[in-house]
Homo-oligomer: A and B are copies of this chain.
Amino acid sequence: MNQVLSADAAMARAIECARLGLGKTFPNPIVGAVITSATGEFISEGFHQGADHAEVVAINAAKNIPAGVIIYVTLEPCNHQGKTPPCTQAIIAAGIKKVVYAVGDPNPIAAGGGEYLRASGIDVEQGLLESEAAFDNRAWITKISKERPRITWKIASTMDGKVAAADGTSKWITSELARADVAVLRSQADAIVTSTATVKADNPLLTSKGAGKNPVRLVMGGSEIASSAQILNADAETIAIKSRDLQELITLAQARGFNQLLIESGPTLGTALLKAGLIDEVVLYQAPTFFGSGTPSISDLGVATISERLDFEIADVEVIGADLKITLIKSANQEEGGR
């Protein structure tokens, strides 16, 4: 007999499956699906990797689907013909009797799947582990709601907020394990954004070093990129945005359908985005060390007094090797003032 899953466990597993798609699905959301028998016996699972939708992957993964099965999906099944036929049709054709989904589809083009399935006589439930599934899909949800990608700024600093010592040295502030974690973060982003100044100073590769797929590399700024720069190698696509205008970055990201941008540059670019209200999230790797002097992680934000500070909320804290990884999400207060 197969493992028997509670509804919560089945959805939690679907959420875990979905997460494996991070960085592979843009312009689509991440989605995971688990099929169980009516009594909860595990049958199959799947996730969206950019081609077949999760529901179809899970249906195809099952050798045969007995009567009365339940499918758990992290997002409302789509009801429209896109690159693939509507998932609602595949669900009906497979003879699935019950659909449990976590998050309603906020995308007007694809929505209505739940209603359509219900009208077709299928038992439909919504909301199981909704906030957990929505949190993991926050890049795509940000894109739908703000019509621009979610923008995360990665910072590696000392505990006194310095990203380089007085002489400019910064290799390496954080430990090898923390840097390996950054590689995973890169693999989950659709594009990395850096500046011509950072390319010139550090000659970074900005790949995921085998931790997953490589993101597109976007380089902002007016300076030329040396033809010998590592960022121009064949590991991934690199696009030079020959401007400091943040709108050009947004326009390019919109055109490409990126869900998630990861900012990896000196303080200038990140500070400009933060000042413009465009930083949704900060992932701060902090090494337990102090420089005293050196380059501050953030340049002048125009914050003159404490009440003007830019508030975030701690979403997660993790000790990675010798360092801390702190995930900060823009707070509702700042969100109201931002765009």
Q: Collect the chain B residues with CB atoms within 8 Å of residue A297's CB.
A: 160-161
- Distance (Å) between the CB of A267 and the closest chain B CB? 9
A185 interface contact, C-beta 8 A: no
A80: min CB distance to chain B, Å: 39
In chain A, residues 313-335, which have Cβ atoms closer than 8 Å to a Cβ of chain B?
313-314, 317, 319, 322-324, 326, 328, 331
Contacting pair A160 B298 (CB below 8 A): yes
Assess whether B161 is in contact with A328, with CB atoms less than 8 Å apart.
Answer: no
Please state if A282 and B328 are interface contacts (CB–CB under 8 Å).
no
Evaluate whether A165 and B291 lie within 8 angstroms (CB atoms) in the complex, with A284-B159, A317-B317, A319-B317 already known.
no
Report the separation of the CA atoms of residues A307 and B166 in the bound assembly, to the nearest whole angstrom: 11
Say which size band chain A's interface belongs to.
35 or more
Interface residue A68 (Cβ < 8 Å from any Cβ of B): no
Cα distance A269–B237 in the bound complex, in angstroms:
51
> Do A314 and B324 touch across chains, with their CB atoms under 8 A apart?
yes
- Is A311 interfacial (CB 8 A cutoff)? yes
Q: How far is the CA of A289 from the CA of B282 in the complex (A)?
A: 11
Given contacts A299-B292, A300-B292, contact A326 B159 (CB under 8 A): yes
Known contacts being A160-B297, A328-B159, is A292 close to B288, with CB within 8 Å? no
Copies of this chain held together in the complex: 2
Task: Select the stretch in A45-53, A135-143, A169-177 that faces chain B.
Answer: A169-177
Smallest CB separation, A306 vs chain B (Å): 4
Determine whether the beta carbon of B324 is less than 8 Å from that of A317: yes
- Closest B residue to A171 using CB positions: B306
On whether the beta carbons of B311 and A289 are closer than 8 Å, the reply is: yes
Q: Does A107 contact B (CB under 8 A)?
A: no
Q: Is the CB of B309 within 8 A of A290?
A: yes
Closest to A310 in B: B290
Give complex CA distance A165, B157 in Å. 19
| Closest 4 pairs between A and B when the two form their complex, measured CB to CB | A161-B161, A292-B301, A169-B306, A160-B161
